[in-house]
Homo-oligomer: A and B are copies of this chain.
Amino acid sequence: MNSVCHFYGATEVLRDISVEIPNGRIVCLVGPSGCGKSTILRFLGGLELPTKGEIMQLGDPPEGSLNPLTYVFQDFALLPWRTVRGNISLVLEDHNIRGEKAEAIIDDVLERTKLLDFKNALPKQLSGGMKQRVAIARALAVKPAVMLMDEPLSALDSQTRELLMEDLVSLWTRQPFTAVYVTHNLAEAVRLGHKVVVLSRRPGQVRDIVEIETPLAERKTGHAEMEKVQDKLWDLMRDEARAADEELVNV
């Protein structure tokens, strides 16, 4: 599936933004706080409608995809009263997948995320990294055409984040998926993105689009080229970040 998305956001938050999301690639959105990254993702997922402009998807979703546009949330959004198994079966139940068929899907995605041993654990028993892996497993269970990830790692501590990035890379390497990945963290963007879209401070506009050609598997901390890209991005953003941080919040 090729999904091409454009939209022309209006009023304050987003101004005239057009982005194209190619199939089988990871597009990273970076930008200072409040620039509208999450809003863009909500538009993409159909959870909100832009005031102006439109978001289009190209072609039909692949067969077997239960939920073409699937989210992975920053705060995991696991139901605390369901086990790992129950959280995944939740998204299958409404498609009338139950019993053995559901079990097979659940086992498959848990295996891919290395969580099979924790099938019957409650979310409160899991560490942050495991919770996010459950959320990723849940997203995989509906065979998404595009994964929409809103700062999926930012609630985690840096070691777990590091580990999970490695997991994501290996997941993608084994079977490439299309994803829009929103993050604050330039290191993450540089590590995971095939294409990094830098947004400016509110009202959000596309400031720059950086394509990174190095294959995901070869990127590592300390990789010289990556460092250069990251420094370039940081230079692009530093002043915006400082300004965004100094703003008084109006609650």
Instruction: Name A residues whose Cβ lies closer than 8 Å to a Cβ of B.
Output: 32-33, 118, 121, 124-127, 129-130, 154, 157-160, 162-163, 184-187, 221-222, 227, 230-231, 234, 237-238, 241-242, 244-251
Contact = CB atoms under 8 A, between A and B. Distances in A.
Q: Chain A at the B interface: mostly helix, strand, loop or mixed? A: helix
A32 to B, nearest CB: 6
Contacts of A238: 159, 163
Contacts of A251: 124-125
A162 B125 CA distance: 32
Contacts of A241: 159-160, 162-163
Contacts of A157: 33, 154, 184-185
Nearest to A129: B245
Given A221-B227, A227-B222, A127 B247 contact: yes
A121 B159 contact: no
A21 B79 CA distance: 44
A159 B238 CA distance: 8
Nearest to A115: B246
B248 A125 contact: yes
B158 A184 contact: yes
Contacts of A159: 32-33, 184, 186, 237-238, 241, 245
Contacts of A222: 227, 230-231
A199 to B, nearest CB: 12
A157 to B, nearest CB: 4
A127 B33 contact: yes
A182 B245 CA distance: 24
Which has the most chain B C-beta neighbours within 10 Å: A157, A158, A184?
A158
A108 to B, nearest CB: 20
25 contacts: A33-B127, A33-B157, A118-B248, A121-B248, A124-B249, A125-B249, A126-B248, A126-B249, A127-B247, A127-B249, A130-B246, A158-B184, A158-B185, A158-B186, A158-B187, A159-B184, A159-B237, A159-B241, A163-B241, A163-B242, A163-B245, A221-B227, A221-B230, A221-B231, A222-B231
